[in-house]
A and B are shown apart, each in its own frame.
Chain A
Amino acid sequence: MLATELQPPARDAAERATAEPAAVRWLLIAVAGAFLALFLFLPLAAVFAQAFERGVAAYLAVFRDEAARAAIRLTLLTAAIAVPLNMLFGIAAAWAITKFEFRGKSVLTTLIDLPFAVSPVISGLIYVLLFGAQGWLGPWLAAHDIRIIFAVPGIVLATIFVTFPLVARELIPLMQAQGREEEEAAAVLGARGWQTFFRVTLPNIKWGLLYGLILCNARAMGEFGAVSVVSGHIRGLTNTLTLHVEILYNEYNFVGAFALASLLTALALVTLAVKSVVEWRVRRAAAHQEPAFVDG
């Protein structure tokens, strides 16, 4: 005690200047901890507890059900279409907004945020109004025997709409910070547009892009509201994972509902883990202004 008081390390002294009394610190940590336990860890544990309530065999049996398998397949298919499309759109939008000057740029920037601003249910309804039997294009689609609403295309469209800001919003600030000097340097050295993109732009944004894709994927697989409106809930055909969870729950099939929910929860945990790794690499790349790994 005496020894530490005689030789206080300089760093401790600096920390002490802004530190609260121990009691306040512990109280704050306890409040935050209790909140997390109540609203995050408890529900998380409850999902798995309910899923395994009747044992591992009952848990695994859920995944042998054809309707459940169809729901998982549909969710994977939806994400497999929505994520690459949004990647292309996100890169194109971020590229246009950060590297060029054009009329209506601020309008485009605002429009990208639109899916975040409107409720997912409204997003779904837009597609029903457009493509539904009573919608604008409904009669024409019916005449040509094209089904969009209450079918897979509608689900994919709604998912794309809801998730399309995620990649672009991740890339725009990053590309703004990087400026366009490197692209200009590439152009002066004779590089074509696509050479500049693949050799200069893409390597500089790859971690930000990956981060955006992870978020986009998580949202695509977890989307409920918009998909619910356009799906029609046809078991085995237009039920995504989230919709199937709801149906099973409403039928008092708790093990089934929570077993499928545990799948989505696991996805969330994996997303969080990957996100932390990517964030760490982005920070490191920014701090050293050097590549996180070297390719070619």
Chain B
Amino acid sequence: MSIEVRNVTKTFGTFTALRDVSLEVRTGELVALLGPSGSGKTTLLRIIAGLETPDRGTLLFHGEDATTRDVRERRVGFVFQHYALFRHMSVFENVAFGLRVMPRKVRPPPAGVRARVHRLLTLVQLDWLADRYPSQLSGGQRQRVALARALAVEPKVLLLDEPFGALDAKVRQELRRWLRRLHNEIHVTGVLVTHDQEEALEVADRVVVMNAGRIEQVGTPEEVFHRPASEFVLHFLGHVNVFHGRVEGDKALFGPVEVDYPNGSPTGSLEVRGFVRPHDLDLAAQPAHDALLEGSITRIHAAGPMVKIEVLSTDGELIHVETSQERYRAHAWAVGQRVYVRPREIKIFANGSRG
């Protein structure tokens, strides 16, 4: 089932959680709403679920207006951030709940309920825990019970609110891959809320980056990561170094480095900011014609797949550089060494600071 959000606005008292937000989620797609806390992503998810009503705007399920449809009629599966398992019910009863509260006419017989619950618990690999209570489970197990419970009513839409937020890093990664596999198996339309960019980029088909109640960019993980639409998206998807340059004609100049700036600054300002990801910076031991600046290495963090190096420029700015283990070893960089920083790519945004 496709979901369409049209011009939705929602305020809580004086706080505007969503400002005129529009979004389309296609059938069978898994979309991540990514943003810092207070960006409105959870509010948007709860509006889709029917747990909040928008002040303005419409919501369409499969092309039909569902704005005022009761939460009980929407047939959505919702996985809460803190799982919200029924604490006085066993795992089995938690998963069976959605079936047991169905109107008598459509409710499956007891044997049918049992079979479906066990099938779901097998799907989430927790069949052996059916008689336990939520308090006796680990965080990751609770998460999977919550997912099984949400899937029990065969929802057309699965909504997940920070599903892995409260778990430790290793469990989180496992569950993330498992969720992706599960989504490929059951083909339900999914919307996932997260503030973890790695999670969004890894799991989702498309990523919706949100900020201050607005959507900053919608795109595939590759698009938002490599072609961010705004400074905010660039900043939110990872560390970035900022360099100050000046505009000359249709060029932006960062020291000896020239970047095309075809339309010039819209405000007529002669100052421009350029952004470079740490992995788009190279270090050289000798002065180079394309070096942005020179400085000295203040810190090397080599434990990890990439080596992180901090360079303090002669202007007193701290620059973050990431390089591969091989190149690090080949150059044998050391703390205190004088280096020249060369960019492979500088991003500039034509429309000023916020994009």
Chain A residues with CB under 8 Å of chain B are 181-182, 184-192, 195, 199-200, 203-204, 288-291, 294
Q: Tell whether, in the assembled complex, residue B97 and residue A184 are in contact, meaning their CB atoms are under 8 Å apart.
A: no
Number of interface residues of B (CB under 8 A): 31
Q: Tell whether, in the assembled complex, residue A288 and residue B80 are in contact, meaning their CB atoms are under 8 Å apart.
A: no
Q: Tell whether, in the assembled complex, residue B101 and residue A195 are in contact, meaning their CB atoms are under 8 Å apart.
A: yes
* A-B CB contact pairs (8 Å), 7 listed: A182-B85, A185-B86, A185-B149, A188-B77, A189-B152, A192-B101, A290-B136
Q: Tell whether, in the assembled complex, residue B135 and residue A188 are in contact, meaning their CB atoms are under 8 Å apart.
A: no
Indicate which residue in A187, A189, A195 contacts B153 across the interface (CB closer than 8 Å). Answer: A189
Q: Is B261 interfacial (CB-CB < 8 Å)?
A: no
A-B CB proximity, top 4 nearest: A189-B98, A181-B84, A191-B101, A289-B135
CB distance from A180 to the nearest CB of B (A): 9
Indicate which residue in A185, A187, A190, A290 contacts B133 across the interface (CB closer than 8 Å). Answer: A290
Indicate which residue in B86, B90, B133, B136 contacts A200 across the interface (CB closer than 8 Å). Answer: B86
Across the interface, name the chain A residue whose C-beta is closest to B70.
Answer: A187
Q: Tell whether, in the assembled complex, residue A188 and residue B87 are in contact, meaning their CB atoms are under 8 Å apart.
A: no
In the complex, which residues of chain B have a beta carbon less than 8 angstroms from the beta carbon of A186?
A: 86, 97, 101
A interface secondary structure, majority: helix
CB distance from A100 to the nearest CB of B (A): 13
In the complex, which residues of chain A have a beta carbon less than 8 angstroms from the beta carbon of B74?
A: 188
Q: Tell whether, in the assembled complex, residue B149 and residue A189 are in contact, meaning their CB atoms are under 8 Å apart.
A: yes
Residue of B78, B101, B150, B152 contacting most chain A CB atoms (<10 Å): B101
Q: Mark B26-58, 1 if CB is under 8 A from A, else 0.
A: 000000000000000000000001110000000
Q: Tell whether, in the assembled complex, residue A291 and residue B82 are in contact, meaning their CB atoms are under 8 Å apart.
A: no
CB distance from B83 to the nearest CB of A (A): 8
A181 vs B134: C-alpha distance in the bound complex, in angstroms? 15
Q: Tell whether, in the assembled complex, residue B135 and residue A187 are in contact, meaning their CB atoms are under 8 Å apart.
A: no
In the complex, which residues of chain A have a beta carbon less than 8 angstroms from the beta carbon of B153?
A: 189-190
Contacts A185-B149, A190-B102 known; 19 new A-B pairs at CB < 8 A: A181-B82, A184-B51, A184-B84, A187-B71, A188-B50, A188-B78, A188-B150, A189-B97, A190-B72, A190-B98, A191-B72, A199-B86, A199-B100, A200-B86, A288-B135, A290-B135, A290-B136, A291-B88, A294-B88
CB distance from A198 to the nearest CB of B (A): 10
In the complex, which residues of chain A have a beta carbon less than 8 angstroms from the beta carbon of B136?
A: 290
A6 vs B84: C-alpha distance in the bound complex, in angstroms? 52
Chain B residues with CB under 8 Å of chain A are 49-51, 71-72, 74-78, 80, 82, 84-88, 90, 97-98, 100-102, 133-136, 149-150, 152-153
CB distance from A101 to the nearest CB of B (A): 10
A190 vs B90: C-alpha distance in the bound complex, in angstroms? 19
In the complex, which residues of chain A have a beta carbon less than 8 angstroms from the beta carbon of B98?
A: 189-190
A195 vs B103: C-alpha distance in the bound complex, in angstroms? 11
Q: Tell whether, in the assembled complex, residue A182 and residue B84 are in contact, meaning their CB atoms are under 8 Å apart.
A: yes
In the complex, which residues of chain A have a beta carbon less than 8 angstroms from the beta carbon of B152?
A: 189
With contacts A190-B153, A291-B133 taken as known, whether A204 is within 8 angstroms of B87 at the C-beta atoms is yes
A188 vs B78: C-alpha distance in the bound complex, in angstroms? 7
A181 vs B86: C-alpha distance in the bound complex, in angstroms? 9
Residue of A182, A189, A190 contacting most chain B CB atoms (<10 Å): A189
Across the interface, name the chain A residue whose C-beta is closest to B76.
Answer: A188
In the complex, which residues of chain A have a beta carbon less than 8 angstroms from the beta carbon of B71?
A: 187-188
In the complex, which residues of chain A have a beta carbon less than 8 angstroms from the beta carbon of B82?
A: 181
Q: Tell whether, in the assembled complex, residue B72 and residue A192 are in contact, meaning their CB atoms are under 8 Å apart.
A: yes
With contacts A184-B51, A184-B84 taken as known, whether A191 is within 8 angstroms of B97 at the C-beta atoms is yes
In the complex, which residues of chain B have a beta carbon less than 8 angstroms from the beta carbon of A200?
A: 86
A44 vs B100: C-alpha distance in the bound complex, in angstroms? 53
With contacts A190-B102, A289-B134, A290-B136 taken as known, whether A182 is within 8 angstroms of B87 at the C-beta atoms is yes
A168 vs B98: C-alpha distance in the bound complex, in angstroms? 30
Indicate which residue in B49, B75, B87, B150 contacts A291 across the interface (CB closer than 8 Å). Answer: B87
Q: Tell whether, in the assembled complex, residue B49 and residue A290 are in contact, meaning their CB atoms are under 8 Å apart.
A: no
In the complex, which residues of chain B have a beta carbon less than 8 angstroms from the beta carbon of A204?
A: 87-88
A190 vs B150: C-alpha distance in the bound complex, in angstroms? 11
Q: Tell whether, in the assembled complex, residue A289 and residue B78 are in contact, meaning their CB atoms are under 8 Å apart.
A: no
Across the interface, name the chain A residue whose C-beta is closest to B100.
Answer: A199
CB distance from B84 to the nearest CB of A (A): 4
Q: Tell whether, in the assembled complex, residue A290 and residue B51 are in contact, meaning their CB atoms are under 8 Å apart.
A: no
A210 vs B173: C-alpha distance in the bound complex, in angstroms? 44
CB distance from A208 to the nearest CB of B (A): 13
In the complex, which residues of chain B have a beta carbon less than 8 angstroms from the beta carbon of A185?
A: 78, 80, 84-86, 149
